[in-house]
Amino acid sequence: MKTIKGPAIFLAQFAGDEAPFNSLDAIGEWASKLGFKGVQIPSWDGRLIDLAKAADSKDYCDEIKGTLAKHGVQVTELSTHLQGQLVAVHPAYDEMFDGFAAESVRGNPPARQAWAVDQMMMAAKASQNLGLTDHVTFSGALAWPYIYPWPQRPDGLIETAFFELAKRWLPILDAFDDAGVNVCYEIHPGEDLHDGITFEMFLEQVNNHTRCNILYDPSHFVLQQLDHLGFIDEYSDRIKMFHVKDAEFNSSPKQGVYSGYQPWVDRAGRFRSLGDGQVDFKGIFSKLAALDFDGWAVLEWECCLKHPEDGAREGAQFISDHIIRVTEKAFDDFADGGADEAANRRILGID
């Protein structure tokens, strides 16, 4: 068995224009003082990384690693959530997602998609230059507006959407394969890959590509009322990354999983800081330890109530307390009397 690495923290929700959140050096020192050993870097945030430079220069990537290493911190993975979202955008969301892209391609969906694909290709090279083995992204979505089967969907609509989604992602998956890096899709509402079945549908369309994998985030399963422990059993061979994020679902006579267009604080399902929600983290960490999960436990802070810096401080300790240092011996080794094949045959009464 293997001990999960961590704690680490996803920096997307913390990066900002004020110190210590406005540079990789400063935010690395901040994370280290809280007890984090790794940081997951949002590749779109120029305050923390220049993605094009990282894709082109191993020396620059060595500088990134050195900047963090002096604080006792390392890069766990890069993230392209925003760019991955733009690989596939339904026209209904064009204007809302335009802000994720470079200004030069906004208002031009084909150019925006080409930009997103180029960003993904750079992320593959940057991950390789940083010596990383896993990468997190969103899948984007073409079928999401039709998630509810009313009005009745035309025959073949969903199949066509997933065929097209796979067509767009296959060259990216191949590029990551060349770089020796797994693409880990965050299973997330709003993406065409939002539960186990939709992941399987996509996996089939990309011909069971070895680089097509999962970032496991149990909070999204609580909000969808999925079995977040059983999910690990079903997809353990594809789970390569782990966001440690809590959530709660408060059943109500007035709202369910769709939550009636309410703001986060008033929704039946809402994200919480670690330990304040309903996720069974003891069960999760136990399962991942038993399954030899070889990745990082990365805090993603998203809470509708608690201050982010409190969530980060408490989260570092929470993850440390839940990581199981796996044993190298069996608890009953003291009673091992030793045996050989002849003894075994005598015990079983075999001539």
β-strands 246-249, 269-272 pairing = antiparallel
CA angle 130, 124, 179 (to 5 degrees): 80
Give the pLDDT confidence score for residue 343 in this predicted structure: 87
Give the pLDDT confidence score for residue 336 in this predicted structure: 78
DSSP-derived secondary structure letter, 22:
S
Least confident of 66-75, 231-240, 246-255, 324-333: 324-333
Q: What predicted TM-score, i.e. pTM, was given to this entire model?
A: 0.95
Boundaries of every domain in the chain: 5-347
What span, in angstroms and rounded, lies between the C-alpha atoms of 114 and 87? 8
| Residues 83, 87, 90, 95, CA torsion sign | positive
Torsion angle, CA of 85/89/93/96, rounded to 10 degrees? Answer: 40
Beta strands of the chain (E only): which ranges? Answer: 5-10, 38-42, 74-80, 134-137, 182-186, 212-216, 239-244, 246-249, 269-272, 296-299
How does residue 337 score in pLDDT terms, banded at 50, 70 and 90? confident
Cβ(281)–Cβ(248) below 8 Å:
no
Residue 21 reports pLDDT greater than 90: yes
* Fold annotation for 5-347: TIM Barrel (3.20.20)
Residue 233 reports pLDDT greater than 90: yes
φ, ψ dihedrals at 94, nearest 5°: -50, -55
